[in-house]
Structure 1
Amino acid sequence: MSRVELADGVVEGTVTVDGVEVRYFDSVADHSATGESSRGPIVLVHGTGGSTEAHYGYLFPLLAGRQRVVALDFARPVRTRAPLTLEQLEQQVVAVIEAVLPDRPVTLVGYSLGAVVAAAVAARHPGSVRNLVLVAGWMKTDAQQELRNQVWQRLREERSEALGEYMAFCAFSRPFLVAAQALGEFTPVLTAFHPDGFTDLQMELNRTIDISDLVPSIAATTLVIGCTHDQMVPKWHSKALFGSIPDARYTEIESGHAVVMERPAQLVQVISQFIEAPSRHAAGDVIATARP
């Protein structure tokens, strides 16, 4: 194992799943000396085209200050010509949990496509997931998402320079983009995404998502987080998850889909408050938007 720069003491390792190595990062420390070990470990699952660094670079160190945090980077399956399946990504998450945190129920946090994967893992492996946090996730792809995906695919096939602009337009909220432009930080926003062949497979998978039969069987204590200005996965998708999971509560953050970049501190605050007392709010509660 080698050390990485996500936070002090973080180590990197791999597990092999169906012939492919899946990389993970582990903060290791359980904070038992400070009385925080009762929070239990968190496992972070990133979204489409992302990675631990890209989607959780801000969140990982903040969360790791109070409990053990593990995050994984999805790996492209060996069968490169076959379509990517949700089950393959689920297997990678389960393999990391079983290898790093055996017999320890976790709080599973999923963002975007990672939320879809996390929900499926919670439904199929209830013994492994005590608490569940779904950020900007969805149950079933709708016509709006398919249209956005088709436009993305056409720009990608044409190698259009407009792809970065289109992705930024879809991912970030208007207030964030206006502020970025005013501060002279607009170019980094447009160049933050670097799609590759594995991203293409994930985008194809996004067009076929339907876990509506699985979601009602989730037994974990769940927090669903919607994003008020989300154009990629509009917040009604999060509300549909909230309404379908028996032990769920719901809150919103005033952000676009890229909440992990727009509002990382606020997102950490919301997740931390939930982890401190998952049942503080009853199932079915709509929690007022937290302020940083």
Structure 2
Amino acid sequence: MGKGRRVGLVGTVAGVGAAGIGAAVGLRHVAVGRVRLRPDPDADEPFGELRGRELTVEASDGLPLHVEVDGPDDAALTLVFSHGYTLNRHSWHYQRRDLRGSFRMVFWDQRSHGRSGRSDPTNATIEQTGDDLYAVIRATVRPDRPVVLVGHSMGGMSIMALADRHPELFERQVVGVAVANTSCGDMAELTLGLPLVLAKVVRPLAPRTLRGLGRRAELVERARGLGADLAFVVTRKMAFADRHVSPTVVDFLEQMIRATPIDVIAEFYPALMAHDKVACLDVLGRVPTLVLAGGEDRLTPAVHARRIAEALPDAELVEVEEAGHVLPLEYPGVVTGGLRRLIDRVRPEREEERTA
């Protein structure tokens, strides 16, 4: 394994447990009232408002994918960002804001998410999102220009699927990879922070529950709209670990999740649980890689990141001990700083310096 780094950050990990309906009434006053009233440095942050040049990319099955490009088409290096499950391109807000003007960047909505087209349920697979990423790269980056791939959660899995299905890209065009809060497999063993005995009971119920909710999508969507306070509490407890996280950031994340239809969530869930791309790590190992993990991540625990980093010969592992599942929003500086280091290692001008 390459360099290993563990980042200890000040803050107390918020207590996370199963959020029951009875507890929700009291929690609303604490987490929604008092938390939202405290000073919030991110209150005026223009979440969801950053825009680039828009284009539509056709996927292999004809589905329209929404893509936005920041930066000149003749840039020496392009970063392509793939977001996570139930999110959209705006989840990269801080990275887009802070790297804008320095690099050419491509952001896209994965199928059935954001402004991309609604997928046929049979194509709600990680293999297909890998092919979608391939279509996005071909449509937005010239074949002779290098690319750095950046993925969060399911976005990291899409990168692995791309490596599995199009390994030749990692020989001639992809020069670096950064993944955050992701996994190469064994997702079905997750406990979601529950005691192991309880997790073994809950795990088999989740697919059937989601399928049932998906069949009652209209009713569920109405209920989701009415339960904003409870959604705020659950999002804060499950996605974040730092108790000082901005309530505006929590709201922003919850809104992205709520904007994803429940039937889409149900359709992709089996693909995530069945995800197994250990074999593709040899392909990722051809390029420098940044692997980011949250020490309190309940959805893709840090052990998954360590497993990926250990399998790669040129990986930098950054583990933020007091972080949850959304590092790009919870600790954006750590993610952006890591990307800058990775870019510095792979940027074309450095390669020219080495060969001069």
Same fold (TM over 0.5): yes
Please list, as runs of the form range in 1=range in 2, the aligned pairs for 1:31-110 lying within 5 A after superposition.
Answer: 40-53=77-90, 55-76=91-112, 80-82=120-122, 84-103=124-143, 104-110=145-151
**Unmatched segments (≥5 aa) in structure 1:** 280-292
Distance 1:64 1:229 in 2: 30
Which whole-Å deviations, capped at 9, do the CAs of 1:134-169 have from their partners, x for residues lacking one?
111101114125857767664783947556643432
Report the equivalent of 2:331.
263
The equivalent residue for 2:173 is 128
The reply on whether 1:273 has 2:341 as its aligned counterpart is yes
8 Å Cα contact 2:58/2:64 also seen in 1: yes
What is aligned with 2:271? 205
Q: Which residue of 2 aligns with 1:26?
A: 69
Q: What CA RMSD, in Å, does the superposition of the two structures yield over aligned residues?
A: 3.0
Distance 1:96 1:149, change over 3 A: farther
CA–CA distance in structure 1, aligned partners of residues 133 and 184 of structure 2: 18
Matched residues in 2 for 1:43 and 1:93: separation? 9
Opposite residue 57 of structure 2, the aligned amino acid is V
Match of 1:290 in 2: none
Q: Distance in 2 between matches of 1:63 and 1:22?
A: 23
Q: Is the 8 A contact 1:47 1:111 kept in 2?
A: yes
Question: Deviation at 1:190?
Answer: 7.9
Structure 2: where are the runs of 5+ without partners? 1-47, 193-198, 348-356
Q: 2:300 maps to which residue?
A: 233
1:144 correspondence with 2:196:
no
**Separation (CA, whole Å) in 1 of partners of 2:274 and 2:62:** 25
Which residue number corresponds to residue 216 of structure 1?
282
Aligned residues: 262
SS of the residue corresponding to residue 270 of structure 1 reads helix
Distance 1:150 1:79 in 2: 25
Query: Tell me, what secondary structure is at the counterpart of 1:25?
Result: strand
1 CA distance for matches of 2:123 and 2:308?
Answer: 26
Matched, 1:247 2:293: no
Equivalence for 2:156: 115
Identity %: 21
Counterparts of 2:249 and 2:149 in 1: how far apart (Å)?
33
Contact 1:122 1:220 in 2 (8 A): no
Report deviation, 1:64.
2.1
Instruction: Tell me the distance in 1 between the aligned counterparts of 2:58 and 2:249.
Output: 39
Cα distance change of structure 1 residues 149 and 24 upon mapping to structure 2, 3 Å threshold: farther
CA distance change for structure 1 residues 151 and 169 in 2, over 3 Å: closer, same or farther?
farther
Q: Which has more helix, going by share of residues?
A: 2
Bigger mean CA deviation after superposition, 249-258 or 16-25? 249-258
CA distance, structure 1, for counterparts of residue 110 and residue 302 of structure 2: 25
Contact (CA 8 Å) 1:145, 1:207: kept in 2 or not? no
Change over 3 Å in CA distance of 1:262–1:81 after alignment to 2 = closer
Question: What is the rounded CA distance, in whole Å, between the counterparts of 2:249 and 2:184 in structure 1?
Answer: 32
Higher relative contact order (CA 8 A, sep 6+): 2
CA distance in 2, matches of 1:190, 1:70: 21
Deviation per CA, 1:29-80, whole angstroms, max 9, x where unpaired?
36x8xxxx55x11000000011111x11222121223110001111237662
